[in-house]
Chains A and B, each alone.
Chain A
Amino acid sequence: MWPLVRLAAGAFASPGAFLQVLAAGRYRTSLVNSLALSTAAAFVSVAIAIVPAWVFARERFPARNLARTAVSLPLTFSGVLVGFLVIVMLGRIGAVPKLAGFLTGRELFAGSAYTLAGLFLAYLYFEIPRAVMTLEAAFRHFPPELDAAARSLGAGPIARLLHVTLPYAAPALYSTLAVTFSASMGSFGVALVLARRFTVAPLEIYTELTAFLNDAVAGALCIALAALTFGVDRLFARRAA
């Protein structure tokens, strides 16, 4: 707790720091950007992860281990590397624009790595594997007897999904949302590489510390970011319970 206490002491020593952070301006904008981006990334990554997680947990097929390794590979990458990969694919002379130019004559998506959409894709790139692995562990414990019982009672695939599978998996889904949201809120390397036209809270903290040596505002931003993350996590945890 000592580092946290020091951080809070530094932030509260300067009463204006919190007012600066919460007043309209780049600090509050960075917090709102972080919150919106992380929430969207968490929901979309969990939505995309449901099917692969279910397949990895319940099905056996050729190259299953290879596919599982490929899906979990981005978990080992640093944020800076993920940012670099997104630039290679969606930069101004990236692979996707060049491929689009070859196919259609127009270099679509050129430079989109540096937009909000590019950062969102980068967040998805490292959040989807996290969501798949977390949900897979939960789906492994899903009792197949429940599904079989519902089927024997005449329930179709949609009815079983809505009334059996999803209610049973809801706590795992909320927990995965909390995990992916927290990881996105604290993501720094990706934003450092890609965020050109907007800002997120970890970048502002870094700038305040390294460029302006403004410990008070950096500490206040840290506490505001931690409080936001904790608050949203508690919401997810309450839903999971």
Chain B
Amino acid sequence: MSLPVSPRRVARTVGIAVTVALALCLVAPLVVTAAGAFVRADWYGQRSEGAEAVGTLGLFRYVLGLWSGALVTSLPESSSASPRRTRASRRSSPASRAWVR
């Protein structure tokens, strides 16, 4: 007597399901974290008053204004070409001033 579904087919389906579930589990933290930069939700951490006031675009502008130099320096190819920014110059960037204001 043969089974209506072959064991090979069942094993394949279960294996694919396990693999997709693992992929979702590994991506979920990244999705939640990335969503936190765009979504205004009380459950996602305790946002600072500045972030609430400035909004998502301002938040990214602030981060890039403050840390773009460090981000560029993190790229191995461009590390030698990128000028290092001092703390004072970071603070005086337009985005930082907008943030403080």
Contacts and interface: CB of A to CB of B under 8 A. Distances in A.
Interface of B is mostly: helix
Residues of A in contact with B, size category: 20 to 34
Interface string A56-94: 100101010011101101100000000011101101010
B32 A51 contact: no
B29 A129 contact: no
A67 B20 CA distance: 6
Contacts of B18: 51-52, 55
Residues of B in contact with A, size category: 20 to 34
Interface string B36-63: 1000000111100000000000000000
A15 interface: no
A128 interface: yes
A71 B33 contact: no
A228 interface: no
B83 interface: no
B35 to A, nearest CB: 9
A128 B16 contact: no
B69 to A, nearest CB: 18
Given A54-B15, A128-B22, 20 more contacts: A52-B15, A55-B19, A59-B16, A70-B23, A70-B24, A71-B19, A73-B26, A73-B30, A85-B30, A88-B29, A88-B32, A88-B36, A93-B46, A95-B44, A125-B26, A125-B29, A128-B26, A129-B26, A157-B7, A157-B11
Interface of A: 48, 51-52, 54-56, 59, 61, 63, 66-68, 70-71, 73-74, 84-86, 88-89, 91, 93, 95, 98, 125, 128-129, 156-157
